[in-house]
Structure 1
Protein backbone atom coordinates (compact mmCIF):
# COMPACT_ATOMS: atom_id res chain seq x y z
CA UNK A 1 0.00 0.00 0.00
CA UNK A 2 1.41 3.39 -0.99
CA UNK A 3 2.30 5.76 1.83
CA UNK A 4 1.10 9.38 1.53
CA UNK A 5 3.83 11.73 0.28
CA UNK A 6 5.22 14.37 2.65
CA UNK A 7 4.81 18.09 2.00
CA UNK A 8 7.84 20.32 1.49
CA UNK A 9 6.52 22.75 4.09
CA UNK A 10 5.50 20.19 6.69
CA UNK A 11 6.69 20.83 10.28
CA UNK A 12 10.27 19.92 11.12
CA UNK A 13 10.79 16.90 13.34
CA UNK A 14 13.03 16.64 16.42
CA UNK A 15 16.28 14.82 15.72
CA UNK A 16 15.73 14.96 11.96
CA UNK A 17 16.42 18.63 11.21
CA UNK A 18 19.66 20.40 10.27
CA UNK A 19 20.71 23.92 9.37
CA UNK A 20 23.37 24.27 6.64
CA UNK A 21 25.34 27.50 6.24
CA UNK A 22 26.92 27.82 2.79
CA UNK A 23 30.18 29.72 2.22
CA UNK A 24 29.76 32.41 4.90
CA UNK A 25 33.47 33.16 4.80
CA UNK A 26 35.42 36.31 5.57
CA UNK A 27 37.01 36.33 2.13
CA UNK A 28 33.62 36.79 0.47
CA UNK A 29 31.96 38.97 3.10
CA UNK A 30 34.63 41.47 4.17
CA UNK A 31 35.10 44.39 1.76
CA UNK A 32 38.49 44.24 0.07
CA UNK A 33 39.18 40.60 0.93
CA UNK A 34 37.93 38.98 -2.29
CA UNK A 35 40.80 39.00 -4.83
CA UNK A 36 38.36 38.29 -7.66
CA UNK A 37 36.42 41.52 -7.11
CA UNK A 38 38.79 44.35 -6.17
CA UNK A 39 36.32 46.79 -7.74
CA UNK A 40 33.73 46.15 -5.03
CA UNK A 41 34.03 48.76 -2.32
CA UNK A 42 32.29 48.83 1.08
CA UNK A 43 29.27 50.52 -0.52
CA UNK A 44 28.68 47.71 -3.01
CA UNK A 45 25.17 46.24 -2.78
CA UNK A 46 26.43 42.80 -1.78
CA UNK A 47 28.42 44.00 1.24
CA UNK A 48 25.70 46.34 2.41
CA UNK A 49 22.97 43.72 2.03
CA UNK A 50 24.83 40.87 3.70
CA UNK A 51 25.87 43.07 6.63
CA UNK A 52 22.39 44.53 7.13
CA UNK A 53 20.20 41.49 6.48
CA UNK A 54 21.81 38.18 5.54
CA UNK A 55 24.29 37.82 8.40
CA UNK A 56 21.92 39.11 11.14
CA UNK A 57 19.21 36.71 9.98
CA UNK A 58 21.65 33.81 9.98
CA UNK A 59 22.75 34.76 13.49
CA UNK A 60 19.11 34.54 14.61
CA UNK A 61 18.66 31.18 12.87
CA UNK A 62 21.85 29.84 14.45
CA UNK A 63 20.71 30.90 17.91
CA UNK A 64 17.33 29.22 17.43
CA UNK A 65 18.88 26.06 15.99
CA UNK A 66 21.38 25.69 18.83
CA UNK A 67 18.70 26.27 21.44
CA UNK A 68 16.26 23.73 20.00
CA UNK A 69 18.33 20.68 19.14
CA UNK A 70 18.82 21.35 15.43
CA UNK A 71 22.08 20.04 13.96
CA UNK A 72 24.26 22.82 12.49
CA UNK A 73 26.64 22.20 9.60
CA UNK A 74 28.88 24.63 7.78
CA UNK A 75 30.48 24.32 4.37
CA UNK A 76 33.25 26.57 3.08
CA UNK A 77 35.26 26.80 -0.12
CA UNK A 78 38.70 25.57 0.88
CA UNK A 79 41.33 23.37 -0.70
CA UNK A 80 42.67 20.39 1.21
CA UNK A 81 46.23 21.29 0.19
CA UNK A 82 48.19 24.51 0.41
CA UNK A 83 48.87 24.60 -3.34
CA UNK A 84 45.33 23.61 -4.28
CA UNK A 85 46.30 20.60 -6.35
CA UNK A 86 43.23 18.76 -5.04
CA UNK A 87 40.80 21.38 -6.39
CA UNK A 88 38.20 20.62 -9.00
CA UNK A 89 39.08 21.44 -12.59
CA UNK A 90 36.48 24.20 -12.54
CA UNK A 91 38.11 25.87 -9.53
CA UNK A 92 41.52 25.60 -11.19
CA UNK A 93 40.19 27.25 -14.34
CA UNK A 94 38.25 30.03 -12.58
CA UNK A 95 40.63 30.22 -10.57
CA UNK A 96 39.43 29.80 -6.97
CA UNK A 97 41.85 28.65 -4.30
CA UNK A 98 41.68 29.15 -0.54
CA UNK A 99 44.41 27.23 1.28
CA UNK A 100 43.74 25.75 4.74
CA UNK A 101 46.16 28.24 6.32
CA UNK A 102 44.36 31.36 5.06
CA UNK A 103 42.41 32.90 7.97
CA UNK A 104 40.11 34.83 5.63
CA UNK A 105 38.83 31.48 4.42
CA UNK A 106 37.11 30.80 7.71
CA UNK A 107 33.53 31.84 8.52
CA UNK A 108 32.87 35.33 9.86
CA UNK A 109 33.20 35.34 13.65
CA UNK A 110 29.50 35.59 14.47
CA UNK A 111 28.71 32.56 12.27
CA UNK A 112 31.69 30.39 13.18
CA UNK A 113 31.13 26.78 14.23
CA UNK A 114 30.55 26.28 17.94
CA UNK A 115 31.28 23.17 19.97
CA UNK A 116 31.45 20.12 17.73
CA UNK A 117 29.45 21.55 14.82
CA UNK A 118 30.62 20.05 11.55
CA UNK A 119 32.45 22.12 8.93
CA UNK A 120 33.04 20.61 5.50
CA UNK A 121 35.52 22.15 3.03
CA UNK A 122 34.53 21.91 -0.62
CA UNK A 123 36.14 22.66 -3.98
CA UNK A 124 33.07 22.83 -6.16
CA UNK A 125 29.84 24.81 -6.26
CA UNK A 126 27.89 21.83 -4.97
CA UNK A 127 28.55 20.69 -1.43
CA UNK A 128 27.00 17.32 -2.30
CA UNK A 129 29.52 16.88 -5.13
CA UNK A 130 32.82 17.47 -3.33
CA UNK A 131 32.14 16.50 0.29
CA UNK A 132 30.64 13.53 2.13
CA UNK A 133 27.73 15.63 3.40
CA UNK A 134 25.10 13.17 2.19
CA UNK A 135 26.78 10.36 4.13
CA UNK A 136 27.06 12.60 7.22
CA UNK A 137 23.45 13.81 7.09
CA UNK A 138 22.15 10.28 6.71
CA UNK A 139 24.30 9.12 9.64
CA UNK A 140 22.80 11.96 11.69
CA UNK A 141 19.29 10.87 10.73
CA UNK A 142 18.50 14.14 8.96
CA UNK A 143 15.43 14.44 6.73
CA UNK A 144 14.73 18.19 6.91
CA UNK A 145 17.54 20.43 5.63
CA UNK A 146 17.41 24.21 6.09
CA UNK A 147 19.77 26.00 3.68
CA UNK A 148 21.14 29.54 3.98
CA UNK A 149 24.21 31.25 2.54
CA UNK A 150 25.84 32.75 -0.54
CA UNK A 151 25.56 32.93 -3.47
CA UNK A 152 21.84 32.28 -3.93
CA UNK A 153 22.26 31.63 -7.65
CA UNK A 154 25.38 29.49 -7.34
CA UNK A 155 26.36 27.41 -4.30
CA UNK A 156 23.02 27.78 -2.51
CA UNK A 157 21.19 26.79 -5.68
CA UNK A 158 23.35 23.66 -6.00
CA UNK A 159 22.86 22.68 -2.36
CA UNK A 160 19.08 22.99 -2.63
CA UNK A 161 18.71 21.05 -5.88
CA UNK A 162 21.18 18.31 -4.96
CA UNK A 163 19.63 17.83 -1.51
CA UNK A 164 16.16 17.56 -3.02
CA UNK A 165 17.40 14.99 -5.55
CA UNK A 166 18.79 12.91 -2.68
CA UNK A 167 15.50 12.77 -0.81
CA UNK A 168 15.76 15.58 1.74
CA UNK A 169 12.89 17.96 2.43
CA UNK A 170 14.63 21.27 1.82
CA UNK A 171 13.84 24.72 3.18
CA UNK A 172 15.59 27.76 1.70
CA UNK A 173 15.45 30.83 3.93
CA UNK A 174 15.08 33.63 1.39
CA UNK A 175 16.21 36.56 3.53
CA UNK A 176 19.17 34.61 4.93
CA UNK A 177 20.70 34.16 1.47
CA UNK A 178 22.26 36.70 -0.87
CA UNK A 179 23.77 37.16 -4.30
CA UNK A 180 25.76 39.89 -6.03
CA UNK A 181 22.55 41.72 -7.00
CA UNK A 182 18.94 41.61 -5.85
CA UNK A 183 17.92 40.58 -9.38
CA UNK A 184 20.21 37.55 -9.33
CA UNK A 185 18.90 36.58 -5.89
CA UNK A 186 15.24 36.86 -6.91
CA UNK A 187 15.77 35.06 -10.21
CA UNK A 188 17.48 32.16 -8.46
CA UNK A 189 14.70 31.75 -5.90
CA UNK A 190 12.15 31.70 -8.71
CA UNK A 191 14.22 29.13 -10.61
CA UNK A 192 14.86 26.58 -7.84
CA UNK A 193 11.80 27.27 -5.70
CA UNK A 194 10.17 24.12 -7.00
CA UNK A 195 12.80 22.02 -5.23
CA UNK A 196 12.19 23.40 -1.76
CA UNK A 197 10.01 25.35 0.62
CA UNK A 198 11.01 29.03 0.37
CA UNK A 199 10.29 30.89 3.61
CA UNK A 200 11.57 33.90 5.53
CA UNK A 201 13.62 33.93 8.72
CA UNK A 202 10.74 34.68 11.10
CA UNK A 203 8.69 31.78 9.74
CA UNK A 204 11.56 29.31 9.92
CA UNK A 205 12.56 30.37 13.43
CA UNK A 206 8.98 29.78 14.59
CA UNK A 207 9.16 26.27 13.11
CA UNK A 208 12.50 25.63 14.81
CA UNK A 209 11.25 26.90 18.17
CA UNK A 210 8.27 24.58 17.89
CA UNK A 211 10.74 21.68 18.05
CA UNK A 212 11.83 22.79 21.50
CA UNK A 213 8.23 22.97 22.70
CA UNK A 214 7.51 19.46 21.48
CA UNK A 215 10.60 17.93 23.07
Structure 2
Protein backbone atom coordinates (compact mmCIF):
# COMPACT_ATOMS: atom_id res chain seq x y z
CA UNK A 1 0.00 0.00 0.00
CA UNK A 2 1.66 3.22 -1.16
CA UNK A 3 1.84 6.13 1.26
CA UNK A 4 2.08 9.92 1.14
CA UNK A 5 2.79 12.62 3.69
CA UNK A 6 0.18 15.40 3.65
CA UNK A 7 1.51 18.71 5.04
CA UNK A 8 -1.60 20.76 5.68
CA UNK A 9 -1.99 24.56 5.93
CA UNK A 10 1.62 25.24 6.97
CA UNK A 11 1.37 28.74 5.54
CA UNK A 12 1.37 32.34 6.74
CA UNK A 13 -2.42 32.46 6.89
CA UNK A 14 -2.56 29.87 9.68
CA UNK A 15 0.90 29.48 11.19
CA UNK A 16 2.70 32.84 11.43
CA UNK A 17 2.66 35.08 14.48
CA UNK A 18 1.15 38.50 13.79
CA UNK A 19 -0.11 37.45 10.34
CA UNK A 20 -3.22 35.91 8.83
CA UNK A 21 -5.65 34.74 11.48
CA UNK A 22 -3.19 35.93 14.13
CA UNK A 23 -2.95 39.50 12.82
CA UNK A 24 -3.18 42.05 15.62
CA UNK A 25 -6.25 44.18 15.99
CA UNK A 26 -9.84 43.91 17.12
CA UNK A 27 -10.64 41.17 14.55
CA UNK A 28 -8.16 38.70 16.05
CA UNK A 29 -10.25 36.14 17.91
CA UNK A 30 -7.39 34.48 19.80
CA UNK A 31 -6.17 35.52 23.23
CA UNK A 32 -2.50 36.12 24.02
CA UNK A 33 -2.50 32.93 26.10
CA UNK A 34 -3.82 30.90 23.19
CA UNK A 35 -1.31 32.38 20.79
CA UNK A 36 1.60 31.84 23.16
CA UNK A 37 0.60 28.19 23.57
CA UNK A 38 0.17 27.65 19.83
CA UNK A 39 3.45 29.24 18.74
CA UNK A 40 5.41 27.54 21.52
CA UNK A 41 4.16 24.18 20.24
CA UNK A 42 4.71 25.23 16.64
CA UNK A 43 8.34 26.26 17.10
CA UNK A 44 9.52 23.63 19.55
CA UNK A 45 7.56 20.57 18.51
CA UNK A 46 5.47 20.77 15.35
CA UNK A 47 7.93 22.32 12.88
CA UNK A 48 10.95 20.21 13.98
CA UNK A 49 8.81 17.07 13.71
CA UNK A 50 7.45 18.02 10.29
CA UNK A 51 11.02 18.64 9.12
CA UNK A 52 12.01 15.19 10.42
CA UNK A 53 9.03 13.61 8.66
CA UNK A 54 9.69 15.39 5.38
CA UNK A 55 13.34 14.34 5.46
CA UNK A 56 12.38 10.71 6.14
CA UNK A 57 9.75 10.54 3.41
CA UNK A 58 12.01 12.26 0.89
CA UNK A 59 14.91 9.98 1.73
CA UNK A 60 12.73 6.93 1.11
CA UNK A 61 11.23 8.28 -2.12
CA UNK A 62 7.72 8.59 -0.65
CA UNK A 63 5.45 11.37 -1.88
CA UNK A 64 5.32 14.58 0.14
CA UNK A 65 2.23 16.64 -0.72
CA UNK A 66 1.63 20.20 0.41
CA UNK A 67 -1.98 21.28 0.91
CA UNK A 68 -2.73 24.93 1.52
CA UNK A 69 -5.68 27.28 1.59
CA UNK A 70 -5.53 29.48 -1.51
CA UNK A 71 -8.22 30.87 -3.76
CA UNK A 72 -8.10 30.79 -7.54
CA UNK A 73 -9.42 34.35 -7.78
CA UNK A 74 -8.23 37.67 -6.33
CA UNK A 75 -11.44 38.26 -4.41
CA UNK A 76 -11.85 34.64 -3.33
CA UNK A 77 -15.42 34.46 -4.56
CA UNK A 78 -15.22 30.66 -5.03
CA UNK A 79 -14.46 30.05 -1.34
CA UNK A 80 -16.89 28.13 0.81
CA UNK A 81 -19.54 30.01 2.76
CA UNK A 82 -17.72 29.29 6.02
CA UNK A 83 -14.36 30.50 4.75
CA UNK A 84 -16.00 33.76 3.73
CA UNK A 85 -17.78 34.06 7.05
CA UNK A 86 -14.52 33.45 8.95
CA UNK A 87 -12.64 35.91 6.75
CA UNK A 88 -10.16 33.28 5.55
CA UNK A 89 -8.58 34.57 2.37
CA UNK A 90 -5.24 33.73 0.77
CA UNK A 91 -5.04 34.87 -2.83
CA UNK A 92 -2.53 33.85 -5.53
CA UNK A 93 0.84 35.44 -4.81
CA UNK A 94 -0.20 36.77 -1.39
CA UNK A 95 1.82 36.60 1.80
CA UNK A 96 -0.98 34.58 3.41
CA UNK A 97 -0.60 31.87 0.76
CA UNK A 98 3.17 31.51 1.25
CA UNK A 99 4.44 28.38 2.95
CA UNK A 100 6.39 28.56 6.20
CA UNK A 101 9.95 28.44 4.86
CA UNK A 102 11.19 25.73 7.24
CA UNK A 103 8.71 23.20 5.83
CA UNK A 104 8.13 24.53 2.31
CA UNK A 105 7.93 22.29 -0.79
CA UNK A 106 11.15 21.15 -2.40
CA UNK A 107 11.83 20.24 -6.02
CA UNK A 108 8.72 19.14 -7.88
CA UNK A 109 6.68 18.16 -4.83
CA UNK A 110 3.00 18.54 -5.50
CA UNK A 111 1.04 21.51 -4.14
CA UNK A 112 -2.74 21.35 -3.78
CA UNK A 113 -4.69 24.59 -3.33
CA UNK A 114 -7.99 24.21 -1.48
CA UNK A 115 -10.87 26.57 -0.78
CA UNK A 116 -12.40 24.74 2.18
CA UNK A 117 -11.12 23.30 5.42
CA UNK A 118 -10.31 20.01 3.71
CA UNK A 119 -9.24 19.34 0.10
CA UNK A 120 -11.71 16.56 -0.71
CA UNK A 121 -14.65 17.96 -2.64
CA UNK A 122 -12.99 21.22 -3.77
CA UNK A 123 -9.73 20.02 -5.37
CA UNK A 124 -8.52 17.18 -7.60
CA UNK A 125 -6.76 15.43 -4.70
CA UNK A 126 -8.73 12.20 -5.02
CA UNK A 127 -7.93 11.82 -8.73
CA UNK A 128 -4.31 12.71 -8.00
CA UNK A 129 -3.95 10.12 -5.25
CA UNK A 130 -5.52 7.50 -7.49
CA UNK A 131 -2.99 8.32 -10.21
CA UNK A 132 -0.18 8.02 -7.65
CA UNK A 133 -1.65 4.73 -6.38
CA UNK A 134 -1.58 6.11 -2.83
CA UNK A 135 -3.90 4.66 -0.18
CA UNK A 136 -2.28 5.55 3.17
CA UNK A 137 -2.19 9.22 4.14
CA UNK A 138 0.04 10.47 6.95
CA UNK A 139 -1.29 13.86 8.04
CA UNK A 140 0.58 16.69 9.74
CA UNK A 141 0.13 20.46 9.99
CA UNK A 142 -2.51 22.81 11.41
CA UNK A 143 -5.08 23.09 12.85
CA UNK A 144 -5.94 19.72 14.36
CA UNK A 145 -9.62 20.45 14.98
CA UNK A 146 -10.34 22.11 11.62
CA UNK A 147 -8.30 21.37 8.49
CA UNK A 148 -6.63 18.22 9.82
CA UNK A 149 -9.85 16.68 11.13
CA UNK A 150 -11.82 17.63 8.00
CA UNK A 151 -9.15 16.09 5.76
CA UNK A 152 -8.99 12.86 7.74
CA UNK A 153 -12.76 12.36 7.94
CA UNK A 154 -13.21 12.89 4.21
CA UNK A 155 -10.20 10.73 3.35
CA UNK A 156 -11.67 7.86 5.37
CA UNK A 157 -15.00 8.23 3.55
CA UNK A 158 -13.15 8.11 0.21
CA UNK A 159 -11.61 4.77 1.16
CA UNK A 160 -8.15 5.91 2.26
CA UNK A 161 -6.32 4.87 5.41
CA UNK A 162 -5.48 8.14 7.20
CA UNK A 163 -2.94 8.38 10.00
CA UNK A 164 -2.72 11.48 12.21
CA UNK A 165 0.77 12.30 13.48
CA UNK A 166 -0.16 13.72 16.87
CA UNK A 167 3.04 15.59 17.72
CA UNK A 168 3.30 17.08 14.22
CA UNK A 169 -0.11 18.76 14.46
CA UNK A 170 -1.47 21.56 16.63
CA UNK A 171 -4.64 23.41 17.57
CA UNK A 172 -5.05 26.68 19.40
CA UNK A 173 -5.27 24.81 22.71
CA UNK A 174 -4.28 21.43 24.08
CA UNK A 175 -7.94 20.76 24.86
CA UNK A 176 -9.03 21.26 21.25
CA UNK A 177 -6.13 19.15 20.01
CA UNK A 178 -6.87 16.29 22.41
CA UNK A 179 -10.60 16.41 21.66
CA UNK A 180 -9.92 15.94 17.96
CA UNK A 181 -7.65 12.98 18.64
CA UNK A 182 -10.35 11.41 20.80
CA UNK A 183 -12.98 11.87 18.08
CA UNK A 184 -10.78 10.46 15.32
CA UNK A 185 -8.88 7.60 16.93
CA UNK A 186 -10.19 4.16 15.92
CA UNK A 187 -13.18 5.76 14.17
CA UNK A 188 -11.56 7.04 10.98
CA UNK A 189 -7.84 7.37 11.73
CA UNK A 190 -4.88 5.74 13.37
CA UNK A 191 -2.74 8.00 15.54
CA UNK A 192 1.03 7.85 15.87
CA UNK A 193 3.90 10.05 17.03
CA UNK A 194 6.79 11.16 14.83
CA UNK A 195 9.61 9.12 16.36
CA UNK A 196 7.52 5.92 16.35
CA UNK A 197 6.62 6.44 12.69
CA UNK A 198 10.24 7.04 11.67
CA UNK A 199 11.31 3.97 13.69
CA UNK A 200 8.62 1.83 12.02
CA UNK A 201 9.80 2.97 8.57
CA UNK A 202 13.39 2.07 9.41
CA UNK A 203 12.42 -1.35 10.77
CA UNK A 204 10.35 -2.09 7.67
CA UNK A 205 13.25 -1.23 5.39
CA UNK A 206 15.60 -3.45 7.40
CA UNK A 207 13.14 -6.34 7.25
CA UNK A 208 12.80 -6.18 3.46
CA UNK A 209 16.46 -5.26 2.83
Are residues 1:95 and 2:99 paired?
Answer: no
Greater than 4 Å deviation, 4+ residue runs = 39-43, 210-213
Q: C-alpha separation between the residues in 1 aligned to 2:32 and 2:43?
A: 13
Q: Which residue of 2 aligns with 1:21?
A: 7
Distance 2:111 2:22 in 1: 24
CA displacement 1:155-197 (0-9 Å, x = unmatched): 1001111111111111110000000000100011001112111
Q: Is the 8 A contact 2:3 2:137 kept in 1?
A: yes
Q: How far off its partner does 1:137 sit?
A: 0.5
Q: Residue in 2 aligned with 1:6?
A: none
- Superposed counterparts of 1:26-45, under 5 Å: 26-35=12-21, 38=24, 44-45=36-37
Match of 1:74 among 58, 66, 69: 66
TM alignment of 1:103-118, pairs within 5 A: 103-118=95-110
Q: Within 1, Cα distance between the matches of 2:205 and 2:124?
A: 29
Distance 1:33 1:210 in 2: 41
The residue matched to 2:182 in structure 1 has which SS? helix
The runs of 5 or more residues in structure 1 that have no matched partner are 1-12
The answer to whether 1:136 aligns with 2:122 is no
How many residues end up aligned between the 2 structures? 201
d(CA) in 2 for partners of 1:83, 1:52: 35
Deviates more, 1:156-165 or 1:81-90: 81-90
RMSD over aligned Cα, in angstroms? 1.8
CA offsets, 1:14-73, max 9 Å, x none? xx1100011011232221012455255596111111111011100000000000011110
Could you state the TM-score of these two structures normalised by the residue count of structure 2?
0.89
TM-score (norm. length: structure 1): 0.87
Q: Which residue of 2 aligns with 1:145?
A: 137
